[in-house]
Amino acid sequence: MAKTILQKCYPNHHGWLKLVHDRTNGDWYVREPDSDGSADDVTPFDTLEAAQAFYDERAKVWSETPNWKAQAAYDEKWGTDNGYAPWQLGVER
């Protein structure tokens, strides 16, 4: 299977978003994480232009969607509250 990933990004650690061309059959598609992160949703397209427009739109949406699970893991590791140190929130040490 000859597939080429034309673009990919990992917006807000939700999962990989990929724009893919399948050279064996000429298909274009976008793979994106589903809402619970358990699998990928695949959306097929007939043209590169349509796939690119969808990819750009989904990259913007995923970039603007907070990932509270990743934020909680960061806060747990670094002792922050939503990325802020206690002193930045006016809490005495």
The full DSSP string for 40-89 is EEEEEESSHHHHHHHHHHHHHHHHHS--HHHHHHHHHHHT-BTTB-GGGG
User: What does the alpha-carbon distance between residue 19 and residue 53 come to, in Å, rounded to a whole number?
Assistant: 10
Tokens of 24: 């064996």
pLDDT, position 44: 94
Place of tokens 């061309």: 21
Tokens of 47: 């043209």
Residue-wise pLDDT tens for the chain (93 aa)? 689 999 998 887 778 889 999 999 999 999 988 766 667 889 999 999 999 999 999 999 888 888 888 889 888 998 888 888 887 888 765
| Reported pTM | 0.69
| SS3 state at 31 | strand
